[in-house]
Amino acid sequence: MARTRAARGDGDLLRDELLDAAEQLLNEAGDERAVTIRAIVDRVGVTPPSLYRHFDSKEELIRQAVARRFGALARAIGEGAGPPAAAGDAAGALRGGCLGYLDWAASEPGGYALLFSSRRETLLSPDGPSGTEAFDALAGGIAGCQQAGVARDGDPQRMAMLVWAGLHGLGSLIGARPTIAWPPREQLVDDLLTGLVGLPPRG
């Protein structure tokens, strides 16, 4: 059924609807090559010219939708880290953020696979934030644990790279091999942070 024409001033609403549809389709497919302009506009109930009034190309739309997926991952990390951080528990905040990462990867398998399905530019600088919110949260969490005296000394960004690699490996493997009797995610995160960052085991 055709979509009712948006009132003047509702262009931002349509733009958000197109991004929502692209995110949904990307999450379902887990592959941006499988998502077409036709599928996106059909889900919203508009025509391709309506899409091109807001996005120059499919590539621009996909890029912005993927950026929103990275934002969702960063929010999941923040939600996991938030309560212990508010209580002044640096180690708990780092564990909670890492668990939030794995929980999001498990709940959004298509969206998570999409984030790393193609090569993208990510710049990591030792002199400041990377511009990648999820990575910066991880490096900041490790630095906070060092300041609290519950993590070993070292470059927090370098440690964050290793922890990120471990989390990505776990998130990808658990999704790809769900029949393996994996230990609880809490235990996997604990083992990862004890080994790579030097956090004392829980309890």
pLDDT at 98: 97
Query: What is the mean predicted confidence (pLDDT) over 41-48?
Result: 93
**Which residues have C-beta within 8 Å of that of residue 14, sequence separation ≥ 6?**
6, 44, 46, 50, 54
Question: Does 23 map to a domain?
Answer: yes
Q: Could you say which of 44, 62, 80 is where a domain stops?
A: 62
pLDDT at 119: 58
Tell which residue, 151, 137, 156, has the closest CA to residue 85. Answer: 137
pLDDT at 3: 47
Threshold 0.85, pTM exceeds:
no
pLDDT tens digits for range 64-97: 888 888 888 889 999 999 999 999 999 999 999 9
- Burial label for 84, CB within 10 Å (0-12, 13-18, 19+), is middle
Same domain for 84 and 22, yes or no, is no
Task: List the Cα angle 66/71/77 in 5-degree steps.
Answer: 130
- pLDDT more than 70, % of the chain: 86
Same domain for 123 and 96, yes or no, is yes
Query: Which residues constitute the domain of residue 108?
Result: 71-196
Question: Does 112 map to a domain?
Answer: yes
pLDDT at 129: 45
Number of domains within the chain = 2
Indicate which CATH number applies to the domain containing 36: 1.10.10.60
